[in-house]
């Protein structure tokens, strides 16, 4: 990557076992130069995937890392070699949960201490995200770094939608429904306005971000008014390895009679449940779709996932008082026409009618012209949203 421009912005999007990253030239509009992902960090078989803006794609490198600190150090050293002719002048980090911190803000020692103090509220993400921040602050001590929160988009939800019906003494400690995937939803709403216009973007919209982590949001007048995830990203829709909503009595039963510790229960609901638990074979939707003709448990997992999506769409349509637009996104939402078709087959009462050719070809509008409710398939881009928020926070004059 020689002869690159000097001033660039790096985005770091840390997951529980992965790190997505992207490098942007700071100009108008932001110009992506490099992107990729480190996967399987805790598996002992981690890989780096990356794509250069010059069209060279799908590089895969096996990397010897077993935790996020090692992964961040390895990524830093690799980026230094790949980008030796450029200068990183800002870094944006995706943070899943910030509690009282919601709007993007510059990372300071005080901020980092506050983030560590609340890490128990999201043990699946925050400790790893904190590790990433610490490595990149150490390696880039003079570079402004900004935290961008997944919860920010949902701060507009009315109080009734944030309420958790437990004693007030616990609610006063910060236990409420926060909602997540906010960076994705913010980007998708912005992109939908660009495609369909401001009037339609102010309508009654449901966005289904369906991936290994899955959620939905009900949007009205450009604001989140309800979302499926609540206090943690484990709630709401059933996901690849997460339960989604679960009767709390199950926790009591398993801890009382199966002797699961709180840590074991937390691991089960986040890593051993969902599609993986129903199928007994895999958490990957594409694999489930391939084997469902020969495996009834795979069929059950696919059908259950689609059934849950139909229920949430129905509920959010009631909350919105109608539905003007349905948008699919995320890994499953963007790449699984069969899943979209199964979900929409259960939504005929909303006047939804898919164009199966457009659906199979993953076009932007996948509904027919006669469909009372238009259905879109849109690619999300959390990294670009992070980059835009960093520019806004640091007062860079960048317009998209």
Cα–Cα distance, 342 to 289 (Å, whole number): 12
Is the distance from CB of 380 to CB of 332 less than 8 angstroms?
A: no
Is the distance from CB of 184 to CB of 330 less than 8 angstroms?
A: yes
User: Catalytic: 109?
Assistant: no
Task: Name the helix (H) or strand (E) containing 87.
Answer: strand 87-95
Cα–Cα distance, 284 to 339 (Å, whole number): 13
SS3 at position 30 = coil
Cα–Cα distance, 5 to 44 (Å, whole number): 36
Is the distance from CB of 188 to CB of 222 less than 8 angstroms?
A: no
DSSP, residue by residue, 323-368: -SEEEEEHHHHHH-HHHHHHHHHTTGGGT--B-HHHHHTT-SB-B-
Catalytic-role residue among 150, 303, 324, 355 = 150
Cα–Cα distance, 210 to 334 (Å, whole number): 8
Active-site residue list:
150
């Amino acid at each position: 990557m020689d002869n690159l421009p000097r001033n660039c912005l790096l985005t770091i999007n840390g997951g529980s076992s992965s790190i997505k990253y992207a490098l942007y030239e700071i100009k108008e509009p932001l110009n992506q130069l490099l992107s990729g992902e480190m996967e399987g960090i805790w598996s002992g078989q981690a890989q780096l995937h990356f794509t250069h803006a010059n069209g060279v794609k799908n590089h895969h490198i096996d990397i010897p890392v077993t935790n996020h600190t090692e992964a961040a150090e390895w990524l830093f050293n690799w980026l230094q070699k790949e980008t030796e002719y450029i200068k990183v002048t800002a870094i944006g980090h995706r943070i899943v949960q910030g509690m009282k911190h919601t709007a993007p803000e510059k990372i300071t020692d005080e901020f980092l201490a506050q983030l560590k103090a609340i890490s128990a509220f999201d043990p699946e993400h925050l400790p790893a995200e904190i590790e990433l921040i610490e490595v990149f602050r150490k390696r880039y001590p003079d570079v402004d770094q900004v935290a961008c929160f997944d919860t920010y988009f949902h701060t507009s939800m009315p109080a009734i939608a944030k309420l958790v019906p437990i004693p007030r003494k616990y609610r006063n400690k910060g236990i409420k429904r926060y909602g997540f995937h906010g960076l994705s939803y913010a980007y998708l709403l912005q992109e939908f306005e660009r495609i369909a216009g401001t009037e339609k973007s102010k309508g009654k919209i449901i966005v289904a971000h369906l991936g290994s982590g899955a959620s939905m949001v009900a949007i009205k007048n450009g604001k989140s008014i309800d979302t499926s995830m609540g206090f943690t990203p484990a709630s709401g829709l059933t996901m690849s390895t997460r339960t989604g909503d679960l009767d709390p009595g199950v926790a009591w039963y398993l801890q009382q009679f199966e002797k699961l510790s709180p840590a074991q229960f937390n691991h089960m609901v986040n890593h051993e449940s969902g599609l993986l638990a129903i199928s007994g074979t895999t958490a990957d939707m594409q694999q489930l779709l391939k084997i469902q003709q020969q495996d009834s448990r795979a069929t059950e997992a696919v059908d259950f996932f689609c059934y849950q999506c139909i229920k949430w769409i129905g509920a959010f349509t009631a909350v919105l008082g109608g539905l003007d637009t349905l948008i699919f996104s995320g890994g499953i939402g963007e790449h699984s026409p069969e899943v979209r078709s199964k979900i929409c087959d259960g939504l005929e009462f909303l006047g939804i009618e898919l164009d199966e050719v457009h659906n199979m070809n993953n076009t932007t509008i996948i509904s027919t012209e006669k469909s009372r409710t238009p259905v879109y398939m849109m690619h999300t881009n959390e990294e670009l949203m992070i980059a835009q928020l960093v520019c806004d926070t640091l007062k860079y004059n960048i317009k998209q």
